[in-house]
Structure 1
């Protein structure tokens, strides 16, 4: 049993369909967009199942989740290493970026404030060259 299976239980047909949908694109997508993609492909997965599965996958670290500028959660399958995102606000394309200066700043702020076990996320929104 993998760590994902122990966290999420056995992989269901619905979870496999959602993971396949996530792997089919580089952009962050909302639960509604993923549900529409599944529906168009003929996969019978309820919208509430999509929401619950995406949240479980995000909690288990299997997908990245970010809140769009409109305040909606969106999801994408990402690499396992710590990274940040540069996101196109027009088409949703996302690029994983590293931020050594952000990492140094985060450590310094945490040390100055006597915090430990600190985590952070950073999303930068703009418009990609194609848009």
Structure 2
């Protein structure tokens, strides 16, 4: 069943597009609350789930286990490099990972294999800020 497009979903989509990097539903809700939109947290969760299901948003799990979202800049399957400090995100293609995943699945008799690979680290700017002079 197709979901109707509501002004609330449009506003969540817009706020997600304005966010820097990946954000949690709670953080996005706080941003919407600051703008006095009247959009509730449950609505934000539903809208983000719909956007992710439609391919309009990337959804992944942070290292802490929280679902985080980002407006999708690429179509199709891709991976991310994500800075743990500032949230800078780079969408990447990882052909070696694709080959490895399919080969590993086939070795074990699996078909229609899917995978999620996201790499968390520190971007160059955060690494430079964290360096301590000797």
TM over 0.5: yes
**What's 1:34 paired with?**
28
Cα RMSD over matched residues? Answer: 1.3
Matched, 1:18 2:19: no
Determine the C-alpha separation between the residues in 2 that align with 1:18 and 1:114: 41
**What's 1:82 paired with?**
77
Uncovered stretches (5+) of structure 1, i.e. residues with no partner:
1-5
1:129 aligned residue (113, 124, 132):
124
Compute the displacement of 1:26 (Å): 4.1
TM-score normalised per structure 2:
0.86
Determine the C-alpha separation between the residues in 2 that align with 1:36 and 1:95: 25
Q: How many residues align?
A: 125
TM-score normalised per structure 1:
0.88
- The structure whose Rg is larger is 2
Question: Structure 1 segments of 4 or more deviating over 2 A?
Answer: 59-62
Question: Where do 1:35-54 residues align within 5 Å?
Answer: 35-54=29-48
